[in-house]
Amino acid sequence: MLLSIAQCLVAQDKQFLVSDSSNAQSITQKEFNIQEIEVKGRLKDENLKSGSLGLEIDLKKLKLLPKFMGENDIYKALQYMGGVSQAGEANSGFYVRGGNNDQNLVMLNGALIQNPTHVLGLFSVFNPDIIGQMRFIKSGMPAEYGGRLSSIVDINTVNTIPEKMDVKGSIGLISSRLAVHIPLSPKFYIYSSLRASYISSFVLPLVSMLGVDSALTQSEYDFLDVNAGFVFKIANRTKLTGHYYTGNDDLKIKSLRKAELNDNSTFWGNTLAGLQLNHIFDENWSMNHSLNYSNFKIKSSIDWHNTDFNLQSQFSNLDYKIDFFHLKGIHKIKYGLEFSYNAAIPQTLNSDSIIPFQNNSQRNNINSTQATVYFRDEWTWNDWLFNVGIRTNLYAQLGPYTDYITDGNEVFSLNSIVKTFPISLEPRFFTRYLIDPQSSFKLSATRHYQYLNQIPVFSFGIPTDLQIPASLYVQPQASWHFSGGYFQNLLENKWEVSAELYYKTLENQLEYKNGIESTFSNSMFEKDLLLGKGWTYGAEWKLSKNDGNFSGWVSYNLAWSYRQFDQLNGGKPFLARNDRRHDISVVGMYKLNDRWDFSAVFVYATGTRLNLPVSFFVVDNKVILEYGNYNAFQMPAYHRLDISATYKLKSWRGIKSELNFSIYNVYNRSNPFQIYLSTSAFVNKSFDFYINMVYLLPIIPSVSWTFRI
């Protein structure tokens, strides 16, 4: 386990905390009868003994993975974990056990991150130089976490006060970054970081030279993000921390002829701010307050088939949460309250199309509020560990809102209740049994509700997902998740092997009824959504080597993901777009000596599903497409190999630095980025119909210099 800020002493059969911490989980059972405490990032048998709180991700090990364009992205590295499938080329989103991308709860210091991507999904918004802790939970989710169906990614910045000023940075081909940690006193320190790109100057010309559409060199693509924060030790048992983040991407595509895109621009960004106050009352009881604000917005102008589309979407969240952690005998009890207010502008669209579009002037913003109470208890009994909890939610949509109906509009005033949903109960159960010191068995059954949804409109490599909370015509998603697994360590915990099975139901899944034209011509697009269900199941295997100069792991997922809508595919079940039958990750890291480190990652995934026409015919010189079974086609398999070498330079005037050499997509695999349809008409009135694939990222070598003062 990690000892975050607290220096925790140990006492046999007694549990207490003697100094402050921002993490209530640091109150743990320990023993006095040792002469020194060895602090490590991860216990060797943590995979056996860990409870429903998931595993602390070993950040030091993840930072040894291949760096793409000088960046070591710890969030994107989650795609190499068992049970996680990456969304595709140029996309740092991921699918967890057959769930959709929006079903993952991603947080930075407790604040919601709606879209954690930069640069067409190649990087996340998390600057690796300020990240101190990351927890990933994909099953057995404890009651203190909620709001999503598939997984939790809980990322926190460094919250220990350094003894001296620390400066970190990196200069690479695609971007550079700088982070500064400044202790102003033994009780107060501040930090900040800046990261910016210059892709238009280096990367796009390189991509063009390697065979991608030469019009890319006329495009502009830049991103910027800024972090700032502080840690203030008010008293020995009280700590206040704060964090601010803002980041944005600005994309201008002059022309991408193969996709018939011209003069397009997109801007999107996240902003968040938060405060956390932690207080330890005594050796058995602590409290944590958190107040967070987050905002995501996107603005797109797209010239598609000589038609201008202007799309905007925005979502804001204000959240307050109070947690209490209490030790009573063998029981570790945690309970709390959470209140949130959400304001969504799902979409604002206008067009100069010659197609008979109705300008959607009868649109609504969707405001909502949610109150949550949770309780959970974790205890051990002999070789058993139990974590049992309950989470209950009360959710309501608030005005202003207008229900546009044929016999007269119904208008709801500001902050009036438009609709309340029945109180939802989310029971959570997890148990672990230690078969012997080298093996264990884990079993979980959990219920989840999700009130905030993101629905993709179309995919041009930009985040065009619309924010659609549960409302008058939109039901909340829900899920049951059952999971069980066997875990074993071999050769004095140097090797780990695991096998897991899971089954997950998905209720109230959403899809757009028709294409973008009919969707946005409807005055209330909430009424134009289809409601269906889904289910996923599969098996996961993982083999890891943790010690020695050579380490790494191999993970394999075998999975099925189905959806069923009455209005699609004749009401019969069909494979979901994110269905990937096979998913393999092979990760290797080798430390040659004190100077050289090498790493490689190979990934393979069955192609995602898609819906394509099986035939076409011409009526009045118009091409009419005929479709067969829904999502009956499959994209080509996705696979690539990345390699990296890092050389540690000799220290010069107190500056420690290293050079990194990496190659992305070593054997130049053409992984499809997008599939689109096109037709050609000839003088003799004959037609040709084409299905085309767009490829984005060829082999890309890079070099970067990372330093620390």
Q: State the DSSP code for 628.
A: -
**Spatial distance between the Cα atoms of 71 and 175, rounded to a whole number of angstroms:** 8
Phi and psi at 58, nearest 5°, equal -75, 95
> Which residue has better confidence, 68 or 236?
236
Domains of the chain: 14-708 (2.40.170.20)
Among 545, 526, 618, 521, which residue's Cα sits nearest to residue 47? Answer: 545
- 394 CB contacts (<8 Å, ≥6 apart)? 370, 371, 372, 420, 423
Q: Please give the distance of CA 604 from its chain centroid, rounded to a whole number.
A: 20
pLDDT at 287: 96
- How confident is residue 356, by pLDDT bands cut at 50, 70 and 90? very low
- 651 CB contacts (<8 Å, ≥6 apart)? none
- Residue-wise pLDDT tens digits, 608-619: 888 877 777 777
- Which residues face 449 on adjacent strands? 478
What is the helix (H) or strand (E) element at residue 59, kind and residue range? Answer: helix 59-62
| Cβ proximity of 8 and 17 under 8 Å | yes
- Residue-wise pLDDT tens digits, 95-153: 899 998 889 999 999 999 988 888 766 778 898 889 888 889 999 999 999 999 999 99
**pTM across the whole model:** 0.86
pLDDT at 306: 56
Q: Residues 672, 673, 674, 678: is their CA dihedral positive or negative?
A: negative
DSSP string, 442-463: EEEEEEEEE-EEEEE---SSS-
Are β-strands 104-108 and 151-157 bridged in parallel, bridged antiparallel, or unpaired? parallel
Q: What is the 3-state secondary structure (H, E, C) of 493-518?
A: CCEEEEEEEEEEEEEEEEEECCCHHH
Q: What angle do CA 145, 148, 150 make, to 5 degrees?
A: 100
**Spatial distance between the Cα atoms of 183 and 163, rounded to a whole number of angstroms:** 7
pLDDT at 448: 97
Task: Provide the CB-side half-sphere exposure for 233 (13 A, CA).
Answer: 18
Beta strand ranges found along 329-423 (DSSP E): 331-351, 366-381, 384-398, 401-403, 410-412, 417-420
Q: Which residue is associated with the tokens 């009135």?
A: 685
* Mean pLDDT, the chain, whole residue set: 81
Q: Which residue is associated with the tokens 């003994």?
A: 49
pLDDT at 436: 92
Check whether 14 has a pLDDT greater than 50: no
- Residue-wise pLDDT tens digits, 266-320: 778 899 999 999 999 998 999 999 999 999 988 877 665 555 666 778 899 999 9
- Residue-wise pLDDT tens digits, 174-198: 788 999 999 999 999 999 999 988 7
